[in-house]
Structure 1
Amino acid sequence: MSQTVDRALSILPLLAQGPADLGQVAERLGVHKSTALRLLRTLHEHGLVYRQEDQRYRLGARLFALAQEAVENLDVREIAHSHLVALNEQCGHTVHLAVYEENEVLYIDKVESRYPVRMYSRIGKPVAITVAAVAKLLLADLPEPERRAIAERLDYPMYTSRSLPNAGAFLKELAVVREQGWATDLGGHEESINCVGAPIRGADGRVVAAMSVSAPNVVVTAEELLTLLPLVRRTADTISREYSGTTPTKKA
């Protein structure tokens, strides 16, 4: 670890003990005030520290938000996994769990199909955000201005003839998903792959993750896969209850 990074990170446990002024930070780090100020400014720019009106520094809200996101994402995967396995055992198809982070939708868990024809998705890999069922579920839950801003800055590759071609079509699809509470990708990313998904909600009703079941046409038709939707939704609701400790309701 570089000396600069080491010094910057050393500031965080110092401020965890309470607010400190520039001189106190410099003294604790054993550096000149100008060096301490440069480090504090960098951390401040990233929201990790905050300068109060009395010119003392404290930990920033962004740090707590990051910690909360990390905990929630870890917890939802841990809570969901056994249910994803059970769903896989019932239907035999590939099951995914995904979250929205840093403008990407990422798979955080996967249970492989029992069939020889399998998907090449990987845990930690971003999904095709404009077509994937899990992406639609996660983005549909965002406030309308944020949905629109995201839609307008995305590219819309035509993976297949069923891919969504532009921001207008994507926003219309998100509105449908938001209303019905579930999503599909029927050949939008790969002609031969279909997918149905459902949201996992926290105690406040907001979507914290999304799960899906995917299968190739050679194993099951799109119509047959859609018959699994009630099972997928029940599984998502069970995970939601365990995750939130309540019976979450869809937030308006």
Structure 2
Amino acid sequence: MNRAATPTPGALPDHDEPAGGVTAVTRALQLLEAFGMHDQRLSLAELTRRSGMHKTTALRLLRTLAHSGYVVQRDDGEWRLGPAAGWLGARYQAAFDVNNVVEPMLRELTQATGESAAFYVREGSIRTCLMRVEGPQPIRHHARMGSALPLDKGSPGRVILAFSGEPGALYEEIRQRGYHFSIGEREKGVATVSAPVFGLNWRLLGSVCISGPADRLPKNKLLRHARTIIKAANQLSYALAGSSTPQTPKVVSAWHP
């Protein structure tokens, strides 16, 4: 159990009302989000601390979530995520055909580059790591699946913004060359290179990237990997979107050195 975890970002005190939202639903989601990737179970006290709620409020919401199977109370009184939470995540991943298409592509990309590979999708004003395959290197960059990250920091988000039509010289350059790389933009010492992935009707689906320590991935090496990234992104786009149509973006099947 990670007792040192910080409270959930954006946690609402019991008296606050989110604009345009339902307080009880927001607080219930904060309790679910309080569970980290390595938390098999959490005590009520820890859930209360991480969510910033009063004990009675948290307990009432946990019991409500338990009725629908999103959390389960253990015999020792601690709480763990329930089967409904896992099923919800599985359905979310299934919408992107992760197991059949995305994950094999990421594994091939990892083998080709020797670095970790990830697939990001846009969720409103953030990007989410939907799937990740770790590279073989003993020292590598770790990005948690499900992490909510900014769109305007790091190459995966910049690519998503560019092919979503974001104005500006930088984004026009990304659209022209079909990829983007960054070194230390979101996280010090981390380098990434990314390309866009398109889905049904050739609408932007997300971005695929590789990442690793900046001292192992200097600019010249990122540029060499860019061709491999574009090839993988294009193959994934054709697998998800089908054959070319008038709506097919120019970046697909094109290389812009």
Whether TM exceeds 0.5 here: the answer is yes
SS state at 1:79 partner? helix
* Separation in structure 1 between the aligned mates of residue 102 and residue 169 of structure 2, nearest angstrom: 29
Greater relative contact order (CA < 8 Å, ≥ 6 in sequence): 1
> What is residue 183 of structure 1 aligned with on the other side?
180
Q: 1:100 aligned to 2:122?
A: yes
One-letter amino acid of the counterpart of residue 242, structure 1: A
One-letter amino acid of the counterpart of residue 101, structure 2: I
SS state at 2:208 partner? strand
Alpha-carbon distance, 1:192 to partner: 1.7
Partner residue of 2:240 out of 233, 239, 243: 243
* Separation in structure 2 between the aligned mates of residue 71 and residue 119 of structure 1, nearest angstrom: 22
Cα distance change of structure 1 residues 133 and 73 upon mapping to structure 2, 3 Å threshold: farther
Alpha-carbon distance, 1:79 to partner: 1.3
- Alpha-carbon RMSD across the aligned residues, in angstroms, is 2.7
Which residues of structure 1 form unaligned runs of 5+? 6-68, 149-170
* Separation in structure 2 between the aligned mates of residue 73 and residue 188 of structure 1, nearest angstrom: 30
One-letter amino acid of the counterpart of residue 124, structure 1: G
Superposition TM-score, scaled by structure 1 size: 0.57
Alpha-carbon distance, 1:107 to partner: 0.5
Cα distance change of structure 1 residues 236 and 98 upon mapping to structure 2, 3 Å threshold: same
Superposition TM-score, scaled by structure 2 size: 0.56
SS state at 1:142 partner? coil
> What is residue 138 of structure 1 aligned with on the other side?
160
| Preserved contact between residue 76 and residue 243 of structure 1 (Cα < 8 Å) | no
| Preserved contact between residue 215 and residue 225 of structure 1 (Cα < 8 Å) | no
| Preserved contact between residue 197 and residue 205 of structure 2 (Cα < 8 Å) | yes
How many residue pairs end up in the alignment? 161
SS state at 1:228 partner? helix
1:18-167 correspondence to structure 2 within 5 Å = 73-75=95-97, 78-143=100-165, 147=166
> What is residue 225 of structure 1 aligned with on the other side?
222
Alpha-carbon distance, 1:70 to partner: 5.1
Cα distance change of structure 1 residues 231 and 221 upon mapping to structure 2, 3 Å threshold: same
Q: 1:205 aligned to 2:227?
A: no
* Separation in structure 2 between the aligned mates of residue 78 and residue 85 of structure 1, nearest angstrom: 12
* Separation in structure 2 between the aligned mates of residue 220 and residue 137 of structure 1, nearest angstrom: 19
| Preserved contact between residue 205 and residue 251 of structure 1 (Cα < 8 Å) | no
Bigger radius of gyration: 1
One-letter amino acid of the counterpart of residue 86, structure 1: E
Cα distance change of structure 1 residues 247 and 71 upon mapping to structure 2, 3 Å threshold: farther
Which residues of structure 2 form unaligned runs of 5+? 1-24, 26-90, 252-257
One-letter amino acid of the counterpart of residue 143, structure 2: S
* Separation in structure 2 between the aligned mates of residue 108 and residue 213 of structure 1, nearest angstrom: 14
Could you list the per-position Cα deviations for residues 99-133 of structure 1 after superposition, in whole angstroms to 9, with x for gaps in the alignment?
00132110001111211112231110012321221
SS state at 1:127 partner? strand
Cα distance change of structure 1 residues 180 and 93 upon mapping to structure 2, 3 Å threshold: same
* Separation in structure 2 between the aligned mates of residue 106 and residue 209 of structure 1, nearest angstrom: 9
* Separation in structure 2 between the aligned mates of residue 192 and residue 71 of structure 1, nearest angstrom: 30
* Separation in structure 2 between the aligned mates of residue 83 and residue 184 of structure 1, nearest angstrom: 20
| Preserved contact between residue 73 and residue 99 of structure 1 (Cα < 8 Å) | no
> What is residue 65 of structure 2 aligned with on the other side?
none
* Separation in structure 1 between the aligned mates of residue 197 and residue 157 of structure 2, nearest angstrom: 13
Alpha-carbon distance, 1:217 to partner: 2.6
SS state at 2:120 partner? strand
* Separation in structure 2 between the aligned mates of residue 132 and residue 77 of structure 1, nearest angstrom: 26
Alpha-carbon distance, 1:203 to partner: 4.3
Which structure has greater helix proportion? 1
